[in-house]
Structure 1
Amino acid sequence: MHRRPGWSVRLQLTLSYAGFLMLAGALLLGAAGLFLLRKGWLRTNEEGAWQQSPGTEIVRGFAPTAAAVMVFLLVFGLLGGWLLAGRMLAPMERITRAARAAAAGSLSHRICLPGRKDEFRELADTFDMMLAQLEAQVAEQQRFAANASHELRTPLAISKALIDVARADPHHDSGELVDRLHAINTRAIDLTEALLLLSRAKQRSFTPEHVDLSLVAEEAAETLHPLAEKHGVTLETSGDIAPMTGSPALLLQLATNLVHNAIVHNLPHQGTVWVHTGVRPRTVVLSVENTGERLTPRVVATLTEPFQRGTERIHTDQAGVGLGLAIVKTITEAHDGTLTLAPRPDGGLRITVELPAAPGG
Structure 2
Amino acid sequence: MSRRPGVSVRVKLTLSYAGLVMIAGTLLLAVVWVFLLRYVPDGPIDTRGPFVPNRSDLERAFAPRIALAWVLLLVFGLAGGWLLAGRILAPLARITSATRAASTGSLSHRIRMEGRNDEFHELADAFDVMLERLEAHVAEQQRFAANASHELRTPLATTQSLLEATRADPDRDVDQLIARLHEVNTRAITLTESLLVLSHAGRRTFARERVDLSLLAEEATETLLPLAERRGIALDVSGEVAQTAGSPTLLLQLVTNLVHNAIVHNDGAGGSVWVSTAVDRDTVLLTVENTGEPVPPQAISTLTEPFQRATERLHNDQRGGVGLGLAIVASICEAHAGRLAISARAPGGLRVTVRLAYAPDRGTAGGSP
TM-score over 0.5 for the alignment?
yes
Q: Equivalent residue for 2:92?
A: 92
**Contact between 1:110 and 1:131, CA under 8 Å: does it hold in 2?**
yes
Q: Equivalent residue for 1:48?
A: none
Q: Equivalent residue for 2:54?
A: 55
User: Aligned equivalents of 2:351 and 2:233: distance in 1?
Assistant: 16
Q: Equivalent residue for 2:186?
A: 186
Shift, 1:312, TM fit? 5.4
User: Aligned equivalents of 1:231 and 1:328: distance in 2?
Assistant: 23
Q: Equivalent residue for 1:28?
A: 28
User: Aligned equivalents of 1:312 and 1:160: distance in 2?
Assistant: 26
SS of residue in 2 equivalent to 1:182:
helix
Q: 1:313 to 1:258 in 2, by over 3 A?
A: farther
SS of residue in 1 equivalent to 2:273:
strand
**Does residue 324 in structure 1 map to residue 325 in structure 2?**
yes
User: Aligned equivalents of 2:154 and 2:313: distance in 1?
Assistant: 22
Deviations 1:204-237 (A, max 9, x none): 2321122111010011111111211221211111
SS of residue in 1 equivalent to 2:269:
coil
User: Aligned equivalents of 2:308 and 2:53: distance in 1?
Assistant: 99
Shift, 1:182, TM fit? 1.0
Q: Equivalent residue for 2:73?
A: 73
Q: Equivalent residue for 2:48?
A: none
Letter aligned with residue 335 of structure 1: H
**Contact between 2:234 and 2:273, CA under 8 Å: does it hold in 1?**
yes
Q: 1:314 to 1:272 in 2, by over 3 A?
A: farther
TM-score by length of 1: 0.94
Q: Equivalent residue for 1:230?
A: 230
User: Aligned equivalents of 2:70 and 2:43: distance in 1?
Assistant: 32
- Please show how residues 336-351 of structure 1 align to structure 2 within 5 Å: 336-351=337-352
- Please show how residues 210-359 of structure 1 align to structure 2 within 5 Å: 210-311=210-311, 317-359=318-360
Letter aligned with residue 308 of structure 1: Q
Shift, 1:42, TM fit? 4.5
User: Aligned equivalents of 1:235 and 1:262: distance in 2?
Assistant: 10
**Contact between 1:42 and 1:53, CA under 8 Å: does it hold in 2?**
no
Alignment length, in residue pairs? Answer: 355
With 29-38 and 247-256 compared, the bigger mean Cα shift is at 29-38
Deviations 1:141-162 (A, max 9, x none): 1110110000001110111111
Letter aligned with residue 269 of structure 2: H
Shift, 1:59, TM fit? 3.1
User: Aligned equivalents of 2:321 and 2:349: distance in 1?
Assistant: 18
Q: Equivalent residue for 1:49?
A: none
SS of residue in 1 equivalent to 2:134:
helix
Q: Equivalent residue for 1:164?
A: 164
Shift, 1:35, TM fit? 2.3
**Contact between 2:314 and 2:320, CA under 8 Å: does it hold in 1?**
no
**Contact between 2:25 and 2:70, CA under 8 Å: does it hold in 1?**
yes
With 80-89 and 53-62 compared, the bigger mean Cα shift is at 53-62
Letter aligned with residue 189 of structure 1: I
SS of residue in 1 equivalent to 2:70:
helix
Shift, 1:34, TM fit? 2.2
Q: Which runs of 5+ in 2 are unaligned?
A: 46-50, 361-365
User: Aligned equivalents of 2:314 and 2:266: distance in 1?
Assistant: 7
RMSD: 1.8
4+ residue runs over 3 A deviation: 42-45, 312-317
SS of residue in 1 equivalent to 2:277:
strand
TM-score by length of 2: 0.92
Letter aligned with residue 178 of structure 2: V
With 55-64 and 33-42 compared, the bigger mean Cα shift is at 33-42
SS of residue in 2 equivalent to 1:235:
strand
Shift, 1:70, TM fit? 0.9
SS of residue in 1 equivalent to 2:293:
coil
User: Aligned equivalents of 1:27 and 1:211: distance in 2?
Assistant: 69
Letter aligned with residue 208 of structure 1: R
**Does residue 203 in structure 1 map to residue 203 in structure 2?**
yes
**Contact between 2:295 and 2:310, CA under 8 Å: does it hold in 1?**
no
Q: 1:343 to 1:292 in 2, by over 3 A?
A: same
User: Aligned equivalents of 1:86 and 1:212: distance in 2?
Assistant: 59
Percent identity over the alignment?
A: 62
Deviations 1:41-93 (A, max 9, x none): 24789xxxxxx962331331111111111101111110111011000000000
Deviations 1:165-197 (A, max 9, x none): 212222222222111111111110110000001
Q: 1:162 to 1:15 in 2, by over 3 A?
A: same
User: Aligned equivalents of 1:308 and 1:326: distance in 2?
Assistant: 9
Q: 1:35 to 1:317 in 2, by over 3 A?
A: closer
Q: Equivalent residue for 2:19?
A: 19
SS of residue in 2 equivalent to 1:41:
coil
SS of residue in 2 equivalent to 1:224:
helix
